[in-house]
Amino acid sequence: MPCLKPMIGPSILNADLAQLSEESQRLLDQGADYLHLDVMDGHFVPNLTFGHPVVKCLRSKIPRAFFETHMMVSNPQQWIEPMADAGVDQYTFHVEPVKDVPEVCRKIKEAGMKVGLAIKPGTPVDVVKTYIDFADLVLIMTVEPGFGGQKFMSDMMPKVSWLRENYPELNIEVDGGVGLNTIDQCSQAGANWIVSGTAVIRAEDPKAVISTLKESVQTAIDSKKC
């Protein structure tokens, strides 16, 4: 089987949104593997961010980067086609508000995007077991979705470990409070996709932070002798 790859994706919500394309390109130039785009509808979570028009404009400026949208929305099916048209590569949505998860996954695939399944801290990890065959990635939230700068929830790591043990080839993402002080917990539990907002964006040397995060994940992967 192919080895898992460490993937570091800064959350651009923490960047200067008035200079989104410049900030995003800077992060890619400093070693980011993808861009994590937080889309909030003011309903599933209290905050409101940006939608597909902004993503489409960003894509026009950055044609080759891998875009993941983290859809913190009550009706993820509504935005599949617009986000596909905007050039999104991976559409990660929360399973909690969705009645027919396989149907949403199917529509995402039909639109030409990869499928990510996200769960909030209060959602048991085995909820995704039924849908795992539809997914390219599972996102374990390590904070409550909707706000940046929250404290990392280390008690979410058993979810990551359970997924890695049961699905050794699965891409597992963590998001929320992940930085230099918490990355080893994430990588040792089995996460290989790392979303980091504040720790990267506000660092004096973002390139060094990204490199350290990636090194931690790679070391954990190597220790499992893939």
Catalytic residues: 38, 175
CA-CA-CA-CA torsion sign (185, 188, 194, 199): positive
157, 133 Cβ separation under 8 angstroms: no
| Residue whose C-alpha is closest to residue 113's, from 133, 85, 153, 147 | 85
Which two structure tokens, joined as six digits, stand for 142? 């390590």
What DSSP string describes 42-92?
SSSSS-B---HHHHHHHHHHSSSS-EEEEEE-S-GGGGHHHHHHHT-SEEE
97, amino acid identity = P
